[in-house]
């Protein structure tokens, strides 16, 4: 989902040279993809009692304000702030696939949001490692700002088209559904 999107979001002007744009983009993409593998979302299922397989979409909005606020809070400013706001918002926003299991709802639907989800410290380490792997060293403040911007945006997402299909019983049920984002 995210591969290649951060790089295409750079405005190719201002604060970051083209070679560094590519390296930053690759590093951030590696870090975010690694982190998304640990991102667990808890949805609220409702339907008929049983157990089933859950699938749906996680929609992360294109919100420059949320990304900029996160970057600023991480100490990024000036022309770099503008470049990163555009490229990261373009790269992270979008539609992600969700999959998981429900042990209490066998057939029905689920809803949810990313509010409070995702471990920020894991995202920070993942982004820092991604940047270093691309030769962007000494970038700890850059990594902190990017982490705050990305987590702001990811946590603003909502579940769409959440469906549960599986074995059912005779009575209504509701409960938590554990979901992962496909990367």
The token pair at 121 is: 């410290």
Q: Which residue has the tokens 């009692």?
A: 49
pTM of the model: 0.88
CB 39 within 8 A of CB 118: yes
How much of the chain exceeds pLDDT 90, in percent?
60
The model's pLDDT over 45-90, given as tens digits with 9 standing for 90+, comes to 999 999 999 999 999 999 999 999 999 998 888 888 888 898 899 8
Compute, in degrees rounded to 10, the torsion defined by CA atoms 32, 75, 153, 93: -60
1 Cβ neighbours under 8 A, 6+ residues apart: 94, 95, 96, 97, 182, 183
The model's pLDDT over 6-46, given as tens digits with 9 standing for 90+, comes to 766 666 555 566 677 888 888 999 999 999 888 889 999 99
Residue 95 is predicted with a pLDDT of: 93
Which of 39, 170, 18 lies closest to 115, judged by CA? Answer: 39
78-92 and 18-36 helices, crossing angle to 10°: 50
CA separation for the pair 115, 44 (Å, rounded): 13
């Amino acid at each position: 989902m995210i591969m290649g999107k951060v790089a295409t979001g750079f405005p190719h002007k201002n604060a970051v040279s083209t070679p560094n744009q590519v390296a930053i983009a690759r590093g951030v993409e590696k870090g975010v993809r690694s982190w998304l593998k640990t991102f667990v979302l808890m949805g609220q299922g409702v339907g008929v009692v049983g157990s089933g397989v859950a699938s749906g979409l996680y929609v992360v909005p294109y919100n420059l304000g949320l990304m900029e606020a996160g970057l600023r809070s991480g100490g990024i400013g000036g022309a770099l702030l503008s470049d990163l706001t555009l490229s990261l918002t373009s790269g992270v926003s979008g539609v992600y696939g969700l999959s998981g299991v429900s042990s209490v709802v066998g057939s029905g639907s689920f809803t949810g949001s990313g509010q409070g989800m995702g471990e920020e410290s894991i995202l920070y380490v993942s982004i820092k490692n991604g940047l270093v792997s691309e030769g962007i060293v000494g970038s700890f403040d850059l990594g902190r700002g990017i982490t705050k911007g990305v987590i702001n945006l990811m946590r603003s997402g909502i579940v769409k088209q959440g469906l549960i299909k599986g074995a059912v019983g005779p009575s209504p049920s509701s409960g938590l559904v554990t979901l992962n984002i496909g990367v």
